[in-house]
Amino acid sequence: MTTEIRVPQLPESVADATLVAWHKQPGDPIRRDENLADLETDKVVLEVPAPANGVVREIRVPSGAVVTSGQVLALIEEGGVAAPKATAAAAASGAKPGAAAAEADGGRDSGKLSPSVRRLIEENHLDPAAIPASGRDGRLTKSDVVDFLGKRPPASVRAPAPRPAAPAGARAEQRVPMTRLRARIAQRLLDAQSTQALLTTFNEVDLTAVSELRARYKERFEKDHGVKLGFMSFFVKASIEALKKFPVVNASVDGNDIVYHEYYDIGVAVSTDRGLVVPVVRDADTKSFAVLEKEVADYARKAREGSLAIEDLTGGTFTITNGGVFGSLMSTPIVNAPQSAILGMHKIQERPMVVGGAIAVRPMMYLAVTYDHRIIDGREAVQFLVGIKEALEDPGRMLLGI
């Protein structure tokens, strides 16, 4: 029986996708749920799994083509499929087939690798079975592959074909098209700059109290909750406290209307090799420090592995971005439209401060909030940032709800 392979239903906010890579060709056997192709949208990379065992009969869309929901991509002829390569190799070497099957179940065969991991393996001609895996259920992560590349001997993989030597005195350059995600990021940043009246205000926060609290309870917290106590949960909680006092900062503009959101969906910016993505923590005001830390850590892992879903990236009423992890001391972040404000965290740096009339060394961080001046006045933005500063300098108030 011949089965059509179609583009999955895309969300209303995503009009089309680009078919970036085929992982099977006509005549290749395929197993159910094995990945046939990668589709890149403006936000994430989607996999197209096979619905049944069979053989690829026809590919109707070339790599690089733009496709829409429901469009036919390929045809497969359902039926028996050859044994997985890992099992065949195990049989040839005298190894137990079960070992190879276990390895495939652990996500080491090419059909179960995330798009970013698969791309890295294919570009470097690697054998996924030779790479130690640290992901859930024995799956390979991008960090595993990067670490392996850093430790491998130079001759462990096939070297790419050498490029033709440039003429003497010539300066080489490459022209590489933007990915859909990078192009979308570029367009959104331009749109934000051209449609919003953006202004940034700064302050600084003394993180002594937060640092002491983390040092006192970090081991017990990790033991009880299975996740490290970081700084992000404190900043999310402090932001929500300030947003409740100044609801216009949690609002957005829709035509001539101001939409006040009576919920707190906090976007947390995460940097990936494909660009910046902003997964959203839903109803963050109802969640504990432990749940916030777990969700942020899980989103960061998914972003590195390229396994974020579109639903993880949609919505959001306010965003937090942390340039401090890269060493940034101060910056002016751009609002994640249609939101109206964004908080920028920066590097924690010990500085001499006057405390109680005496000079003391304190862990200080510069904070920045960029806001849409069309609906947020300077007074509100400054007081909002002061509210975050006060909550962080006296975190007991957040814990006690006062």
Tokens of 134: 């640290």
Is 377 an active-site residue? yes
> What percent of the chain is modeled with pLDDT above 70?
84
Q: What percent of the chain has pLDDT over 90?
A: 45
pLDDT higher for 9 or 384?
Answer: 384
Closest CA to 34 of 53, 17, 54, 49: 49
Which member of 16, 261, 373, 394 is catalytic?
A: 373
- pLDDT value at residue 115: 63
What is the mean predicted confidence (pLDDT) over 238-258? Answer: 96
Is the pLDDT at 275 greater than 50, yes or no?
yes
Contact of 193 with 185, CB cutoff 8 Å = no
**Annotated catalytic residue, options 127, 273, 298, 377:** 377
How is 268-283 classified by DSSP, letter by letter? E-EEETTEEE--EETT
> Residues 293-330: pLDDT tens digits?
999 999 998 888 878 888 888 889 999 999 999 999 99
Q: Is the pLDDT confidence value at 100 over 50?
A: no
The model's confidence at residue 105, banded by pLDDT at 50, 70 and 90, is: very low
pLDDT at 151: 58
- Find the largest Cα–Cα distance for the chain: 83
Please name the residues in contact with 389: beta carbons below 8 A apart, sequence gap of 6 or more: 203, 204, 205, 367
Distance CA 245, CA 260 (A): 13
- Can you tell me the mean pLDDT for 261-276? 89
CB 50 within 8 A of CB 71: no
- Asked whether the beta carbons of 282 and 291 are under 8 A apart, the reply is no
Domains and CATH numbers, the chain: 2-151 (2.40.50.100), 180-400 (3.30.559.10)
Task: Give the pLDDT band (50/70/90) at residue 250.
Answer: very high
Contact 318, 264 (CB under 8 A): yes
Instruction: Check residue 148 and give left, alpha or beta (phi > 0: left; psi -120 to 50: alpha).
Output: alpha
Predicted pLDDT of residue 108: 52
> What is the arithmetic mean of pLDDT over 94-98?
42
**Helices 208-225 and 289-305, packing angle to 10 deg:** 80
Which letter, b or e, does each residue of 27-50 get, where b requires 16 or more Cβ atoms within 10 Å of its Cβ? eebbbeebbbbbbbbbbbbbbbbb
Assign 356 to helix, strand or coil. coil
Average pLDDT score over the chain: 83
Identity of the amino acid at 82: A
Catalytic status, residue 285: no
Q: Kindly indicate the confidence band of residue 137, based on its pLDDT and cuts at 50, 70 and 90.
A: low
Is the per-residue pLDDT at 90 higher than 60? Answer: no
The answer to whether residue 201 scores a pLDDT higher than 80 is yes
What confidence tier does 387 reach under pLDDT thresholds 50, 70, 90?
very high
Tell me the residue length of the chain: 402
Mean pLDDT, to the nearest integer, of 267-294? Answer: 91
pLDDT of residue 85: 45
Does 111 have pLDDT greater than 70? Answer: no
- Segment 109-124 mean pLDDT: 66
Measure Cα distances from 358 to 1, 28, 49, 205, 208 in Å.
82, 75, 65, 18, 16
pLDDT for residue 86: 42
Higher pLDDT, 138 or 294: 294
Chain segment 28-59, per-residue pLDDT in tens: 898 888 888 888 887 777 888 888 889 998 99
pLDDT band of residue 281 (cuts 50, 70, 90) is very high
